[in-house]
Amino acid sequence: MAATNFVLVAASLLCAVIFFRPKLLRSRTWRATVTPLASIIGSGFLVAGPLLAHAAGTLAWAAMLGLCATGYLFGSAIRHNILHVEPKLRHKPPLPVAALETASDLALSFAYFVSVAYYLNLFAAFGLRLVDVVDPVAVRIGATGAIAVVGVIGALGGLRGLERLEVGAVGLKLSLIGGLVVALGFAAIIMVANGTLSWYAPDHVRGSKEIGILLGLVILVQGFETSRYLGDEYDAETRVKTMRRAQWFSTGIYFVFIVLITSYFTGDLPLAGGETAIIDMLMPLGTAVAPLIILAALSSQLSAAVADMNGAGGLIEETSRHRLKVKTGNLVTALVAIALTWMADIYEIITLASQVFVLYYALQSAQAALSAYGQRRYGRTALFAGGILIALAVIIFAVPAEA
């Protein structure tokens, strides 16, 4: 354990040196890549292991690849829209194009409401683990307080200051993930040498319910769509290239991570504190795991919630034709997020977040299919139509995980 502790801390520090290099931070291509990348492997990285262990067991790696492939399909639709639909939106677009875009904005606004609740519930859960509290009511109270504070700051117009957390949080998060993957690889090598490595998770009955749980985990790979809304800073080709790169990079990270933690799977989710089960799962790796995960979770969840609250506020202002201001949108987002916190548990919020995000993806896939059909690109039309069907399956059949 002492050796893996050293490797974990040393690898995390080495990754921090890489990710905080001034030259890298100044790179426009890196900044355009890291925005979707940080969203894709943000909160999902914290809950992917326990949830996939519960739903898929030994086949967690295959489930993760399936989720990443689904995300890549939706990403391809959004990339098509960046290249072929965005230019039409700058002028007076045809009615179907304008209607689908307005509906997409509304769906994404609601998705942001849910994601703020998701991020700040995780923020509260990991924060309370500092004092070994896993009580669901305490987590709800903590989440309510965090949402209220961020919402009031947003209503007063002060979120710009909190946004400065994002750059540091992204570097910290990626450094921790790199350190964890290296430490897990080091531990796996030791277990192979000792003959103690086992890739088999505890068996449990799996059927249609587990498929429904997996459908409700699309939120784990959500975040690539942020490239769609960086048009003021980057041209279309840059956004398409960097979004694709972010999805491939995150797929590799997720796959390696899930494969390496399979030997740490212990069975079903705990009755309380399942959202922070990654800490207990990886505790055999070393005593440095818990504080590093909690530190990264607190910074990344707060910065992600601030980014999505601003996104929701901006979309509300835009879709209301500026009748509602961003400050009002931030307050509305906070109130809805608080209501969701008390109406649903974390697993229900995760599933709901997946459903509302895939509603947005369904509308974007419909937009892409309509565009491809108009270009007589029938193969891509069929591909994007398949995306619509997958999104409908998630909306209809997804169910929350249960401890």
| Residue-wise DSSP of 54-121 | HHHGGGHHHHHHHHHHHHHHHHHHHHHHHHHTHHHHTS---HHHHHHHHHHHHHHHHHHHHHHHHHHH
Measured CA angle at 185 (ends 181, 191), to 5 deg: 145
Q: Which residue has the higher pLDDT, 74 or 38?
A: 74
Question: Is there a domain that residue 402 lies in?
Answer: no
Predicted confidence (pLDDT) per residue in 174-209, tens digit: 888 888 888 888 888 888 888 776 666 555 556 677
Q: Which amino acid is at 130?
A: L
Question: Is there a domain that residue 250 lies in?
Answer: yes
The mean predicted confidence, pLDDT, of the chain is 84
Q: Which of the four pLDDT bands, split at 50, 70 and 90, describes residue 288? A: confident
The CATH number for 221's domain is 1.20.1740.10
Q: What is the pLDDT of residue 161?
A: 58
Give the domain range for residue 65.
2-194+203-397
Question: Is there a domain that residue 403 lies in?
Answer: no
What CA–CA distance (Å, rounded) separates 332 from 98? 25
Cβ-count burial of 341 within 10 angstroms (0-12 exposed, 13-18 middle, 19+ buried)? buried
Residues 6+ apart with CB under 8 A from 157: 327
Mean pLDDT of 289-303: 80
What CA–CA distance (Å, rounded) separates 94 from 85? 11
In 257-342, DSSP assigns E strands to none
Predicted confidence (pLDDT) per residue in 16-68, tens digit: 888 888 887 778 888 788 778 877 887 777 788 788 887 777 888 899 999 99
Mean pLDDT of 356-379: 93
What CA–CA distance (Å, rounded) separates 219 from 52? 13
Domain count, the chain: 1
Question: Is there a domain that residue 11 lies in?
Answer: yes
What is the pTM for the complete model shown? 0.89
